[in-house]
Structure 1
């Protein structure tokens, strides 16, 4: 079994287990990725095309991503309450840190969009397709189902809020694709399309960056982290109640969302994006940024 090439932009050492190395050629580790069951988040895995599908890399999280919608200006507090009431008890978004954010408009991206806002939907789409993929075809199908789910949910929420809008991007960060003679897994990582808009969220209270790359200066494996990343797994690192109460003063959170559910969403639980900018930001083209105004998570 030949050695696997490792490109390491993270702060941790990692080498794949023997069971994951068959036909594996390369792993790229991005900043801010914690390990889950021995598989680091924020990583790209490149296999030769004869490799069988490896369900260990993403498990049931295939298809998870964030969709962004441009909408007219709305009352972000009232709208968050409406969205929270609609989602209550439905388990639509899925488990974990999935959310709906209502955000300011993007500063600097386009003067024609001055009076707009951004609606973000982070979901794995399991409400539509909760299967455990065991083949490439099943995984690719689940990715498409998740995109469809986010689009349909966005349309439903816009109708609920009485506005029209359009999707300006859907950034899947758990995906599998065939690329010529390679199979590429992106875990907690998005595929970068040259000259198109991408976003880099960090945490509540921090602005979201809109950016792109030119075709001549793409990042490693045409990939970027989908966010700044958690310091530790979701269940093992949470803020105290006092800090959660302070967080509600920074970002509007509907009252029906409990303080307990916010403990894992506090900024203390996340890295800041400085390591991403330091190691991968040289060729990023900054298109502007926007602010998270209201947050709807687990209801």
Structure 2
């Protein structure tokens, strides 16, 4: 059964958290769900099993309202996860890690990956295109480790042992610019012109998808493979008009029959699922394992338990490309909930069917130190 949270008498909206009593759900995240439920026009808040506190609004929630609130989507509009098949003759993590491109910078004009980009770039925005960003964003070479629903796997063209690229990123500075333009005037208030916001929002969503496609093409070329189209590409920061209301998603993927990659960590499996979530769940599913530690706690605890080199090799034998030592600790697998519990909760609440698991081989977070130094050396002397 889902956890139906009691509401204050003055609140008309309902809150439902789709997690078992044994799942790690912080009280602060549930409190944020109630705060959102108290907003004018709010109808229902659905918390996913990866629910955790965010800046002003919960992460891992779908929120239905008669009013459009840009802050419920956040600045990384269109952030999502895409999965691309890739064929390689050999998959030796150490060798492939050294060949990953520098995804902290936009590809050079002559880079063959640009062939994956159409002429009409959304909003005409080029800054940061083809880059991964920071925080929990990543690009990963992974292997299909188990097939759990053969029919769905066949439909997607996946088989045991297949290699895939998983790219998690969003609209970079474009989404931030859109939210800032709103908050500088209206703060956390509603959009005064929903149609105008939605037009800009939709451009950012398309931009985020294009960004993931360009990064996958860059990686494929660098590893000596041909770029492919994604078999899964779902964003988890968005808003749509559904059943006549605004359905906001913050850290929640569309669950209305879509295929979704629910990301684990760089040291655990991820799960590809087929979704069938209904209106009580906001037609949504979880987007990942969900944090259980703040970045400050993960940094403090991680430094007490691990060395940097230990964190560059994971328990599953994969290699982590990350030149930022602090980020290595902040994004350590121990900072996240158990992905198996998240998927079990989705399954038990009949929101999704597990299709396959993937295991990381190489996870890219940010350029390795040598690449970062090389990039600095290339800057004009007057701007160092």
Q: Gapped runs of 5+ residues in structure 1?
A: none
Q: TM-score w.r.t. structure 2 length?
A: 0.68
Q: Provide Cα deviations, 1:6-36, integer angstroms capped at 9, x if missing partner.
A: 1123533325448961111111112232222
Q: How does 1:1-299 map to 2 (within 5 A)?
A: 3-9=12-18, 11=25, 12=27, 13-14=30-31, 15-17=33-35, 21-48=39-66, 51=67, 53-73=68-88, 74-75=90-91, 76-83=93-100, 85-88=101-104, 92-105=131-144, 107-108=146-147, 109-110=153-154, 113-114=159-160, 116-126=162-172, 130-133=176-179, 134=182, 135-164=197-226, 165-194=228-257, 196-214=258-276, 220-238=281-299, 239-240=302-303, 242-243=305-306, 244-250=308-314, 251-254=318-321, 257-282=323-348, 283=350, 284-299=352-367
Q: Which runs of 4+ in 1 moved over 6 A?
A: none
- Once the two structures are overlaid, the 10-residue window that deviates more, 54-63 or 221-230, is 54-63
Matched length: 292
- Which structure has the highest helix share of the two? 2
Alpha carbons of 1:63 and 1:234: their partners in 2 closer, same or farther (altered >3 Å)? farther
Matched residues in 2 for 1:167 and 1:266: separation? 27
TM-score, reference length from structure 1:
0.86
Whole-Å separation in 1 of the counterparts to 2:35 and 2:312: 42
Over alpha carbons, which structure has the higher Rg?
2
Distance 2:199 2:303 in 1: 43
CA distance in 2: counterparts of 1:130 and 1:152, whole angstroms: 20
- Hey, what's the Cα distance between the residues in 1 that align with 2:57 and 2:143? 35
Root mean square deviation, CA, Å? 2.8
SS of the equivalent of 1:101 reads strand
Contact 1:30–1:43, Cα closer than 8 Å, also in 2: yes
**2:333 & 2:254 partners in 1: Cα distance?**
25
- Post-superposition offset of 1:295: 1.1
Measure how far apart 1:70 and its partner are: 0.4
Deviation at 1:77, TM superposition (A): 2.9
Segments of 5+ residues of structure 2 without an aligned counterpart are 1-9, 20-24, 107-127, 148-152, 183-196, 368-384
